[in-house]
Amino acid sequence: SQTIHQWPATLVQPVGSPLSLECTVEGTSNPNLYWYRQAAGRGLQLLFYSVGIGQISSEVPQNLSASRPQDRQFILSTKKLLLSDSGFYLCAIQPRPSTDTQYFGPGTRLTVL
């Protein structure tokens, strides 16, 4: 079965600083990958998804960007953090597209001060 790693687990950053969150996957190949944000412990907002290396789709206009430099690596980043970027960021995978469901990583808690 697959394993999803997210790094770091928690992060406190000042407004205007850069950000890089990493998601790596083990135990599967060519998955669909997703970034979600969760504010105040409620509601999951889909930010980005990727169906392959270098292929990124954005669901909502925002300050963040995503990249998939390798099959099992998904990165969320920005050059300048905003206060509104605070939240709980979740990476999810769909191991076998069109035949399987989504599984979530442990998450990264981001606080922007």
Binding footprint of another protein on the chain (CB under 8 A): 4, 32, 34, 41-44, 46, 49, 51, 57, 90, 92, 94, 97-107, 109
**43 by DSSP, 3-state: which?**
strand
Residue 55's identity, in one-letter code, is Q
- The smaller minimum CB distance to another protein, of residues 8 and 16, is found at 8
User: How far is residue 41's CA from residue 52's CA, in Å, rounded to a whole number?
Assistant: 29
Residue 98 beta carbon to another protein: minimum distance, rounded to whole angstroms: 5
Residue 94 beta carbon to another protein: minimum distance, rounded to whole angstroms: 5
Residue 57 beta carbon to another protein: minimum distance, rounded to whole angstroms: 8
The torsion defined by the Cα of 54, 85, 111 and 41, in degrees rounded to 10, comes to: -100
